[in-house]
Structure 1
Amino acid sequence: MMISVLIPTYRRSQDLARCLVALQQQARPADEVLVVVRDSDTETWQLLAELDPHALPIRTVKVGVPGVVAAMNAGVDVAKGEIIAITDDDAAPHADWLERIEAHYLADEKVGGVGGRDRMHYGTQLVEGQSHVVGRLQWFGRAIGNHHLGVGNAREVDILKGVNSSYRRSAIAHIRFDERMRGTGAQVHHELMLCLTLKRAGWKLIYDPQIVVDHYLGQRFDEDRRNQFNAIAFSNMTYNETLSLLEHLSPIRRTAFAIWAVLVGTRDAWGLVQLLRFLPSQRKLAWQKWLASMHGRWQAWLTWSNGDRSSEVWAQHL
């Protein structure tokens, strides 16, 4: 199968250089490497101009719109591969990354997506831990990630993580990453909408802990600065998750999700219980996080209730 590797990048040229070196070392080489670069990113354009043109089959794709969704769609639109493998510029895939990904598609024609573990590095520290529960969506709408902690055998999941994911081209031929996702950079949870759309259409999503990338958590240049609270980023993250779930849950599950989201929530999308839990220690910050979460939930509800059902349109084409 022909494999296209897709890398969206922005102002992280050193990270990108490490990623490209890792791709040069693949046991199963990529047939093409698509590097999607913002038109204003002079740092990255300079790096690409200095690369050995024979080291990798690189094609550059220029975008003028900020955000990973626009970059992903621009790359998918021109990709030639039967498999589109996706990683971040701050990740370094292991040498058997593409080989293991391809094996799953060859083994089962119903597999629409394959992903794996991202070993997360905070500076010089590697995040340790193990989890057998990875990429699951509970019946009431709580999404469980843990992709960086997965152990065990390859298995079907509900959600793949963008930094270590791939899709069969025929499965996403009529689907785009949802351009309603909010944010000007990472647009957290952008992959959730796509994965749930594929599951509804009957495709299998496989998570294999043996498919590994090292994820070095590079600097972000948008409102979302990872571990630094920003009300806009917090609200955007909650909006993206909520809109995805409202579109794909059944009416009963959607009602349960709404009740749970408002009353309980999670560390990343606060409900009332989370507010009361952290109010004694975080005080004013706790109120800010709760308000940002509620704002994101409400904005997503307005978008969904206004009748924009892009996922239903996609499903009709599958």
Structure 2
Amino acid sequence: MEVSVVVPTYRRTDYLEKCLDALKQQLKPAKQVIVTVRETDQETWAFLDRYPRGSLPLDLVCVEVPGVIAALDRGFSRASGEIIAMIDDDAQAFPDWIQRLEVHYQSNPRIGAVGGKDWIYDNGEPQPGNPQPVVGRLQWFGRPIGNHSLGFGEAREVDILKGVNMSFRKQAIGDLTFDPRLLGTGAQVHFEMSFCLALKRAGWRIIYDPNIAVNHYRAQRYDEDQRHTFIAEADYNQVYNETLAVLDHLWMPQRFAFLLWAVLIGTRSARGVVQTLRFLPQEQQWAIARLQSSLRGRWDAWRAWHRDPQTPTGATIYQG
């Protein structure tokens, strides 16, 4: 099967160089490596002009609109392979990355998406974490579970993949595009949740295999979303985006259970009352600020969804 790889990038040329170098080392070469570059990103254009591409089949795409959603829509529409894989510019794929992706698609025609594990590094140091058996699931009441960097064991079916290391069967995508309602000027957090859940609703299987791996050297983001730092706008955006994706996917009784859980309990990254009380002793006023931004994100997303529930469509319905 032919594989197109999409690499969205913005002003991170040192990381991009290593990402492209790793794609040169694939045991199964990509048919096409699409790098999407912002029109105004002169630094990256200059780098790509001098990059020694060798046999790497680079295809450069200019993007006029800020944000990863616009970049991916342009990149995916350009892809000609039967499989469209995505990797972040600050990640480096293991040599068997494409090879392992292909094996899953060949094993079952109902598999519409495959992703894997990202081994996280901050400032060059590997980040410890306890292995987690549950990865990429959406619980019945709408609580999303990630843990893609902490998965272990055999391949298994999931609901959600992580954008740094995911792929799709082009046939399954059909006319589906990334959700334009999502907020953010750069990362647009949770963009992959809406996309993956749309494929699930169309009847496709989504596979997570921790043996399909990339090293993820988490780099600076050039937008309001800064890792490890609380910024109210970024917090609001990611909660808003998550809420829209979940509301799209659940049935009405589940939606009310989700909103009740979200307000009363929540998670570390999308706070409810219980999580706020948990972190209040160490975070003090910042815990209250996080609660406020999370509740605003939940409320505004609910109002937007209720006013105009534009559930993403376009994925090809699986005909088994």
Describe the SS at the equivalent of 1:310.
coil
In the TM superposition, 1:72-221 aligns within 5 A as 72-128=72-128, 129-221=130-222
CA deviations on 1:243-273 (whole Å, 9 max, x unpaired) are 0000110111111101000100001001111
Task: Report the equivalent of 1:294.
Answer: 295
Pairwise CA distance, 1:315: 5.8
User: Contact 2:172–2:317 (CA<8 Å) still a contact in 1?
Assistant: no
Task: Report the equivalent of 1:41.
Answer: 41
User: Contact 1:174–1:317 (CA<8 Å) still a contact in 2?
Assistant: no
User: Contact 1:5–1:86 (CA<8 Å) still a contact in 2?
Assistant: yes
Q: How many residues align?
A: 317
Moved more, 2-11 or 247-256: 247-256
Aligned identity (percent) is 51
Counterpart code for 2:237: N
Task: Report the equivalent of 2:263.
Answer: 262
Moved more, 272-281 or 137-146: 272-281
Task: Report the equivalent of 2:63.
Answer: 63
User: Contact 2:235–2:293 (CA<8 Å) still a contact in 1?
Assistant: yes
Distance, in Å, in 1 between the alignment partners of 2:317 and 2:158 is 23
CA deviations on 1:172-216 (whole Å, 9 max, x unpaired) are 121001011110111111100011111111100000010000000
Please give the TM-score of this superposition, normalised by the length of structure 1: 0.97
Describe the SS at the equivalent of 1:314.
coil
Pairwise CA distance, 1:314: 3.1
Counterparts in 2 of 1:316 and 1:74: CA distance versus 1, 3 Å: closer
Distance, in Å, in 2 between the alignment partners of 1:199 and 1:127 is 31
Counterpart code for 1:180: R
Distance, in Å, in 2 between the alignment partners of 1:53 and 1:280 is 53
Please give the TM-score of this superposition, normalised by the length of structure 2: 0.97
User: Contact 2:113–2:168 (CA<8 Å) still a contact in 1?
Assistant: yes
Pairwise CA distance, 1:124: 2.8
Pairwise CA distance, 1:123: 1.4
Describe the SS at the equivalent of 1:243.
helix
User: Contact 2:73–2:178 (CA<8 Å) still a contact in 1?
Assistant: yes
Distance, in Å, in 2 between the alignment partners of 1:32 and 1:192 is 25
Pairwise CA distance, 1:151: 0.3
Moved more, 283-292 or 85-94: 283-292
User: Contact 2:13–2:44 (CA<8 Å) still a contact in 1?
Assistant: yes
Task: Report the equivalent of 2:12.
Answer: 12
Pairwise CA distance, 1:55: 3.1
Distance, in Å, in 2 between the alignment partners of 1:300 and 1:10 is 28
Counterpart code for 2:38: R
User: Contact 1:3–1:84 (CA<8 Å) still a contact in 2?
Assistant: yes
Distance, in Å, in 1 between the alignment partners of 2:96 and 2:232 is 40
